[in-house]
A and B are shown apart, each in its own frame.
Chain A
């Protein structure tokens, strides 16, 4: 492929600029600057999802969304994370791993439940294999429902959380 045309040619991302998403992203960037001092490091943890939420979280980094522009990064270790995103109801087999991941994070730390199952336990209500939503195991600061929520919905949920934190710290 021709590297020069990539540098000087029309940018591919110009083809799918979504004004609503851009505005929400820039608002989020402003909130993160205020509440978190420029960046928000997120660790993702799947505690029993059906994997669709993971796909949408990966999409946040893909060219259409590219949320690193807004100060959000997904980090490889809980030790580097400000916030934990949990997807899926918490299974019995994941309980210890969920607790250890949370313990490994430095305080202060946030927990965000993404998807219906993480928010409420979803369809797994009485299952022997599931403990319930993320709040059965960890203190949850924000719930972003959906089956799964779209990348734009996840971004708006993060924006709502940052606003909540800013307002909380002022109060």
Chain B
């Protein structure tokens, strides 16, 4: 535990903090006084720790406990600063910009105010929600509520105004022109060039976290699957891993293999959709068609493997629910081998077209320094020079024994994301075929009784790091916190589009492949 030593060094000396280890890989730090907290936040920022999540819960239904989760490249553990909060707390968004959305989320959910926060607008509660309504408070029992019938001009969401000669606004959404999820984009444009973009999300806020509360853990796998349909396997696995950590069980080897096969299949079909979409968005349907065909074949392979094209209802706490035969698995393996050669040919085809490359290259650049500031993860981060990959940084399941190298590109543009996703598809094919070749026999599910306790789990979905925190009390879920990669990655789009033209926005958006459902919860 090198990280423990590092933290003791940081927190030692003048600071007073209680340090403990939970679940073997979570280092919890409770600063004693307000000034210790402030000093610790500053020291973490200076030592290169990144804020990966910030949320609130009410232990035993009383008071407020804020949880600041950090990771540091090169250390498999996560560091967690905990503090009790009154009705107002100092904002850390000035030090860790990624805290901005988290703090707004906590204010909506619990009514806690963050002092000196630079943005205090509502986040997931839109204008129609009543004042003083905070759904994540334990005192609120989940039920339908009466919304405001009228919304005054002051209560309307205030977008940032950009002034100047020739500047005009283009409002887009929440309902878009294609078959896409809803969200609002407010562009400020000069001529065709975007000089500012502000996004407003959470139209699809379904109350996922509250929905899980007071339910038996096994009922919540279905809820985790509904976070984002195309991240079904990743989020179901993340939820199950958290519950299994609390229960202290290790799933059977065959189950661990099958789970990983499912998660990598998800990565393949998700990336295929992005690649097809990017080529469609540069108006080249003939080039995109092979990728749509491949994706359909992958969805059908999923159905053959698990009975569901999106691998729904395939996982359970303690393992997996579906046990494909070894013949079905070897069919999948040879199918993937054929796919792989067809796929690389199709990629070569589209990238040999100068008009495609011209649209992708230098478009929608994300600078590397945004990765830490906004906690970006997944292919977006890896196409911008970061090597973050949860499968390698915080190995879970059987990734520690799987041989694959990190892929990193540095340009940060749409082309880099295209190439990176194409390469990751090939890697996933390799991982799945290796897993199938070494597939052990044995049981697929270990029944588990889950005692009281709490645990984090981190999983690399197709979009990046999905962080789940589960707290169980008296056999039911006390609090379930989910932070998908999209929640953070969405914020990068506001930076990626600056200086680009409006017609390139759909292309940039597709290359980032952000989940609205996974953000809005």
Contacts and interface: CB of A to CB of B under 8 A. Distances in A.
B106 to A, nearest CB: 17
A150 B142 contact: no
A54 B520 CA distance: 16
Contacts of B273: 55
Interface in B244-287: 273, 286-287
Given A46-B204, A48-B206, A129-B207, A123 B179 contact: no
Contacts of A16: 293
B147 to A, nearest CB: 6
Interface of B: 124, 126, 128-129, 135, 140, 142-145, 147, 174-175, 177-182, 202-207, 210-211, 222-223, 225-230, 232, 273, 286-287, 289-290, 292-293, 295-296, 299, 308-310, 312, 349, 352, 515-517, 520
Contacts of B174: 94, 97
B296 A130 contact: no
Interface string A87-112: 01101111111001100000000000
A127 B142 contact: yes
A138 interface: no
Given A51-B228, A54-B181, A147-B312, A95 B296 contact: no
Ranked 10 nearest A-B pairs via Cβ = A52-B229, A129-B207, A76-B177, A62-B292, A50-B229, A127-B207, A93-B126, A51-B229, A44-B179, A64-B296
Interface residues of A, number: 49
Contacts of A78: 175
Contact of A46 (B180, B227, B293, B310): B180
A94 B203 contact: yes
A128 B204 contact: no
Interface of A: 1, 6, 12, 16, 44-59, 62-64, 74, 76-78, 88-89, 91-97, 100-101, 123-124, 126-131, 147-148, 150
A63 B292 contact: yes
B180 A50 contact: no
A59 B296 CA distance: 8
Contacts, number: 144
A130 B207 contact: yes
A30 B515 CA distance: 37
A63 B291 CA distance: 10
Nearest to A101: B175
A51 B206 contact: no
Given A12-B289, A50-B228, A150-B309, A126 B144 contact: yes
A147 B230 CA distance: 12
Given A91-B206, A128-B135, 11 more contacts: A1-B287, A6-B286, A12-B290, A50-B226, A50-B228, A54-B180, A92-B129, A93-B126, A128-B144, A129-B206, A129-B210
Contacts of B203: 48, 91, 93-94, 97
A123 B222 contact: yes
Contact of A55 (B142, B144, B230, B520): B230
Contacts of A51: 181, 228-230, 515-517
